[in-house]
């Protein structure tokens, strides 16, 4: 009788947990579908208006508006966001060539220099925010550092700082970069196209020709191999591990001659819509209330962030002789994922852009918590 009661209890617990898991999965699936539908609407509207970066920016703005009205979304587990990072890593890796190996070595010094410049400027902006607002120093510094919306918010939570304000400043930085930079890049490219610049490392005509030849088995194989590298890198705690691990694995396989084809364009567009929309879901009503009280400082902050990235980008273009689109995207204070997607869309070099941003993000995450803690105390 005891054994029967024990097994009966186990079955009851299993059924309860199963129903809970099924309900959670259904909610996540519904949330994902709604994000994609609303994001797709935003994408079509922005595309109709000929706004650059329509997939990312349109989805981001649309979901931000909807979320600010009070709509609540189910939070995705980390493995889902990692999966979308893997897709982007596979996109980049499939365009990798042997010639890029020498490029990777040459990026270390520019990556370190741009990172140091970003850190110094961010500390200065954070200090100014404390002088002209009621923000405490820790919150202002973590809100100013271009280290990633979720990463900086998590660190702010650890140090008992104002997470909504940090998240707001990070969100505004990313939003201002993603809305303005595609316009700037395309405008500068048009002006620069007759000169020495705009020698794109990636030929999008080749991409379009290869797209029709891509089959689902190749997509699954590339995602499987990239997923192994991406999730392994995430498990090891590497920044944006899903993207970096997938890019390295697929890139190495391509460089030794494995015939992996590029992912079709609809996969890229779908990924842009989902990631842009997911970022938009972080713009809560609390952030709207905070934004109203910090409107002028936030506007100044947004303009300064864009101009600072442009300045460094033009210097890279002049000194390193990179094409202008790649230079601007590599030095912008945007996230690795979104800047890489933008690089793909505007025909820049996504390998160089993603690697430079990864170097910067790694340096910031390794140094800033200790540095800011020292400054505060």
Rounded Cα distance between 126 and 300, Å, is 12
Give the mean pLDDT of 174-195: 70
Cα 5 from chain centroid (whole Å): 51
Over the stretch 191-218, which tens digit does the pLDDT of each residue have? 555 444 444 444 444 444 444 444 678 7
Over the stretch 216-260, which tens digit does the pLDDT of each residue have? 787 888 889 989 999 998 888 876 688 778 888 888 888 787 777
> Which has the minimum average pLDDT: 11-20, 120-129, 177-186, 187-196?
11-20
Instruction: Write the DSSP string, 110-125.
Output: HHHHHHHHHHHHHHHH
Three-class secondary structure of residue 66 per DSSP: helix
**pLDDT above 70 covers what percent of the chain?**
79
Show Cβ contacts of residue 238 under 8 Å, excluding neighbours closer than 6 positions: 244, 245, 362
In the prediction, which pLDDT does 203 show?
45
In the prediction, which pLDDT does 204 show?
42
Whether the Cβ atoms of residue 101 and residue 255 lie closer than 8 Å to each other: yes
Considering the entire predicted model, what is its pTM?
0.65
Over the stretch 308-361, which tens digit does the pLDDT of each residue have? 888 999 999 899 888 888 898 888 887 777 787 788 777 788 888 888 887 887
pLDDT band at 118 (very low <50, low <70, confident <90, very high): confident
Give the mean pLDDT of 106-111: 84
Over the stretch 34-90, which tens digit does the pLDDT of each residue have? 999 999 999 999 888 877 667 877 888 898 888 888 888 877 777 887 888 888 888
Place of tokens 């610049």: 197
Is the Cα dihedral 233, 237, 238, 239 positive or negative?
positive
In the prediction, which pLDDT does 339 show?
83
Q: Which residue has the higher pLDDT, 158 or 181?
A: 181
Give the mean pLDDT of 161-175: 78
Any idea where the domains of the chain sit in the sequence?
A: 84-376
pLDDT band at 374 (very low <50, low <70, confident <90, very high): confident
- pLDDT mean across residues, the chain: 77
In the prediction, which pLDDT does 44 show?
92
Q: Say whether pLDDT at 9 is over 70.
A: no
b/e burial code for range 212-227 (CB count within 10 A of at least 16 → b):
eebeeebbeebbebbb
pLDDT band at 2 (very low <50, low <70, confident <90, very high): low
**Pick from 336, 286, 374, 314: nearest CA to 72:** 286
In the prediction, which pLDDT does 198 show?
41
Give the mean pLDDT of 287-293: 75
In the prediction, which pLDDT does 195 show?
46
In the prediction, which pLDDT does 11 show?
58
Q: Which two tokens stand for residue 242?
A: 């899903």
Q: Say whether pLDDT at 15 is over 60.
A: no
In the prediction, which pLDDT does 37 show?
92
Rounded Cα distance between 336 and 332, Å, is 10
């Amino acid at each position: 009788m005891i054994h029967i009661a024990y097994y009966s209890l186990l079955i009851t617990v299993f059924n309860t947990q199963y129903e809970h898991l099924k309900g959670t999965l259904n909610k996540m699936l519904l949330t994902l579908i709604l994000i994609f539908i609303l994001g797709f609407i935003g994408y079509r509207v922005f595309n109709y208006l000929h706004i650059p970066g329509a997939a990312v920016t349109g989805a981001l703005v649309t979901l931000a508006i909807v979320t600010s009205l009070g709509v609540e979304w189910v939070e995705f587990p980390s493995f889902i966001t990692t999966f979308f990072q893997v897709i982007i890593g596979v996109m980049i890796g499939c365009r990798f060539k042997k010639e890029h190996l020498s490029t990777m070595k040459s990026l270390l010094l520019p990556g370190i220099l741009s990172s140091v410049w970003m850190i110094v400027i961010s500390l200065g902006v954070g200090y100014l925010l404390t002088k002209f607002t009621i923000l405490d120093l820790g919150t202002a510094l973590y809100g100013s550092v271009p280290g990633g919306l979720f990463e900086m918010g998590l660190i702010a939570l650890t140090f008992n700082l104002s997470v909504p304000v940090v998240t707001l400043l990070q969100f505004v930085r990313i939003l201002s970069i993603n809305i303005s930079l595609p316009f700037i890049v395309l405008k500068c490219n048009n002006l620069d196209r007759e000169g020495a610049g705009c020698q794109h490392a990636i030929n999008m005509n080749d991409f379009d020709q290869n797209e029709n030849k891509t089959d689902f088995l190749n997509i699954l194989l590339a995602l499987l191999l990239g997923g192994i590298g991406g999730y392994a890198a995430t498990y090891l705690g590497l920044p944006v591990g899903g993207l970096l691990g997938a890019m390295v694995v697929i890139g190495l396989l391509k460089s030794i001659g494995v015939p992996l084809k590029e992912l079709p364009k609809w996969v890229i567009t779908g990924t842009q819509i989902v990631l842009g929309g997911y970022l938009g879901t972080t713009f809560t009503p609390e952030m709207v209330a905070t934004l109203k009280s910090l409107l002028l400082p936030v506007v100044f902050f947004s303009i300064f962030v864009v101009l600072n990235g442009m300045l460094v980008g033009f210097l890279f273009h002049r000194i390193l002789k990179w094409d202008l689109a790649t230079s601007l995207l590599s030095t912008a204070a945007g996230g690795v994922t979104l800047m890489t997607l933008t690089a793909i869309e505007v025909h820049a070099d996504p390998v160089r852009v993603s690697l430079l941003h990864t170097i910067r993000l790694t340096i910031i995450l390794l140094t800033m918590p200790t540095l800011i803690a020292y400054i505060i105390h």
